[in-house]
């Protein structure tokens, strides 16, 4: 049997199979040969059972915070690089490997009632994310939140301004969303980052190439805002978490914040920070009209997709976004 030093061998292998140069981490626990050679202090339970996939600016932090109030639900240790989000499946972190990812999660005992989850809001529209997530977590459940894509885009733009993005500071929202393909590259890039996540049907279809509809739970972001108690009830049923945790004694509307917040005592609540639920001027009418048109085909496809998935009623925001075209 002929062989070569490891590096030469690897070079030879990847020249024969270039498509394999980009790794896809599978679950070691799905293959007895892998378990055998795996470190003894690793456990398959140290992986999330469900993912909150975003998209950004739809209320993902509120959902994350509400989930953590539940005594049987825990998440990862915060990542110092990306605030609380690990952002494993989408960017360069993926190349850090499985151990890097798993080290973020506490070890929970086999069959424990503890549900681990991870929330990374940029997973939703990441091209490679569904494939990678499915390779590692084929049984995971997925939770996504949808609001009007037009409102989402505007909230994201405001977020970029607060973070002093020079392009967002230099150009109005209308400038960004109406930028044509002859506009400066930086402006086109910002436009794309602003608008692309809102093409909900496209992104959901990509997830549905890997996960079954039964594994996907869609939350109406407007309901999360106005009636989080009911939303959390439905979510627990979807996740099959028992006994049902009664959120009505843990969430209360805070008039000052204008949102539901966590109940700390009879006269005190803990709300999300200033960066969530910001005050900013209303979107210009012409910007909303442009976005209604821009998202028309995507929103129409979303209605079809939601019906196919068996959703009984179309969200109010979707009806409103489509209202000028019905
Ligand atoms: P705005 O700040 O534009 O109003 P994300 O956490 O995904 O970045 O989403 C932020 C958005 O969550 C906020 O956008 C806000 O509208 C919405 N949100 C929903 N429920 C909330 C809550 N209970 N507290 C604060 N913000 C909430």
For the segment 11-35, the average pLDDT, to the nearest whole number, is 91
Do 210 and 192 contact (CB within 8 A), yes or no?
A: no
Among the residue ranges 41-45, 56-60, 85-89, the one predicted with the least confidence is 41-45
Helix, strand or coil, per DSSP, at residue 232? helix
For the segment 27-38, the average pLDDT, to the nearest whole number, is 87
Helix, strand or coil, per DSSP, at residue 68? helix
Residue 13's contacts (CB-CB under 8 Å, 6 or more residues apart) are: 20
Q: For residue 39, what pLDDT is reported? A: 83
What is the 318 CA–ligand 1 centroid distance (Å)? Answer: 18
Token pair for residue 229? 């108690």
Could you say which of 12, 36, 57, 119 is catalytic?
57
What is the four-CA torsion angle of 126, 128, 133, 139, rounded to 10 degrees? 100
Give the Cα separation of 128 and 41 in Å (integer): 29
Q: Is pLDDT of 128 > 70? A: yes
Any ligand 1 atom below 6 A from CB of 149? no
Residue 273's contacts (CB-CB under 8 Å, 6 or more residues apart) are: none
Q: Is pLDDT of 106 > 90? A: no
Q: Whose CA is nearest to atom 8 of ligand 1?
A: 57
Sign (positive/negative) of CA torsion 59, 212, 82, 174?
negative
Higher pLDDT, 40 or 124: 124
Residue 61 CA, closest ligand 1 atom number: 6
Give the Cα separation of 189 and 205 in Å (integer): 24
Is 198 marked as binding a ligand? no
Q: ipTM value, please give it.
A: 0.99
Q: Which stretch of DSSP H or E encloses residue 217?
A: strand 216-220
Residue 275 CA, closest ligand 1 atom number: 2
Any ligand 1 atom below 6 A from CB of 277? yes
Task: Find residue 261's DSSP bridge partners.
Answer: 252
What is the 271 CA–ligand 1 centroid distance (Å)? Answer: 11
Residue 294's nearest CA partner among 140, 176, 136 is 176
Residue 158 CA, closest ligand 1 atom number: 3
Token pair for residue 321? 């976004």
**What single-letter DSSP state applies at residue 211?**
S
Task: Find residue 262's DSSP bridge partners.
Answer: 251, 270
Is 183 marked as binding a ligand? no
Among the residue ranges 69-73, 154-158, 236-240, 309-313, the one predicted with the least confidence is 309-313
Residue 44's contacts (CB-CB under 8 Å, 6 or more residues apart) are: 27, 28, 29
Is 91 marked as binding a ligand? no
Token pair for residue 137? 């977590």
Any ligand 1 atom below 6 A from CB of 236? no
What residue spans of the chain are helical by DSSP H?
6-16, 32-37, 60-69, 98-102, 129-136, 149-162, 166-170, 173-177, 185-195, 200-208, 221-226, 228-239, 285-294, 296-308, 316-322
Residue 57 falls in the annotated catalytic set:
yes
Token pair for residue 235? 């979510």
What is the 41 CA–ligand 1 centroid distance (Å)? Answer: 39
What is the four-CA torsion angle of 97, 100, 106, 108, rounded to 10 degrees? 30
Q: Is pLDDT of 300 > 80? A: yes
Any ligand 1 atom below 6 A from CB of 147? no
């Amino acid at each position: 049997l002929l062989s070569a030093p490891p590096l030469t061998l690897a070079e030879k292998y990847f020249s024969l199979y270039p498509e394999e140069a980009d790794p896809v981490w599978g679950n070691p626990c799905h293959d007895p040969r892998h378990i055998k050679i795996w470190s003894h202090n690793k456990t398959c339970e140290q992986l999330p059972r469900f993912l909150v996939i975003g998209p950004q600016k739809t209320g993902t932090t509120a959902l994350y915070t509400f989930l953590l109030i539940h005594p049987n639900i825990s998440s990862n240790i915060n990542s110092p690089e990306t605030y609380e989000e690990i952002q494993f499946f989408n960017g360069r972190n993926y190349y850090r490997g499985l151990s890097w990812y798993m080290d973020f999660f506490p070890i929970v005992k086999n069959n424990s009632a503890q549900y681990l989850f991870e929330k990374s809001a940029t997973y939703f529209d990441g091209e490679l994310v569904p494939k990678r997530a499915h390779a590692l977590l084929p049984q995971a459940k997925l939770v996504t939140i949808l609001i009007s894509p037009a409102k989402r885009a505007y909230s994201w733009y405001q977020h970029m301004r607060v973070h002093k993005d020079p392009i967002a500071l230099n150009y109005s929202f209308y400038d960004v969303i109406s930028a044509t393909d002859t506009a400066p590259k930086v402006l086109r890039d910002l436009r794309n980052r602003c608008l692309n996540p809102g093409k909900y049907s496209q992104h959901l279809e990509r997830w549905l190439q890997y996960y079954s509809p039964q594994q996907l739970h869609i939350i109406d972001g407007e309901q999360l805002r106005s009636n989080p108690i009911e939303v959390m009830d439905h979510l627990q049923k979807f996740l099959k978490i028992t006994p049902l945790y009664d959120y009505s004694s843990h969430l209360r509307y805070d008039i000052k914040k204008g949102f539901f917040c966590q109940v700390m005592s009879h006269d005190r609540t803990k709300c999300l920070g200033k960066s969530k639920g910001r005050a900013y001027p209303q979107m210009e009418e012409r910007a909303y009209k442009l976005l209604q048109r821009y998202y028309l085909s995507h929103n129409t496809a979303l209605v079809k997709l939601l019906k196919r998935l068996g959703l009984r009623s179309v969200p109010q925001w979707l009806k409103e976004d489509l209202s000028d075209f019905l």
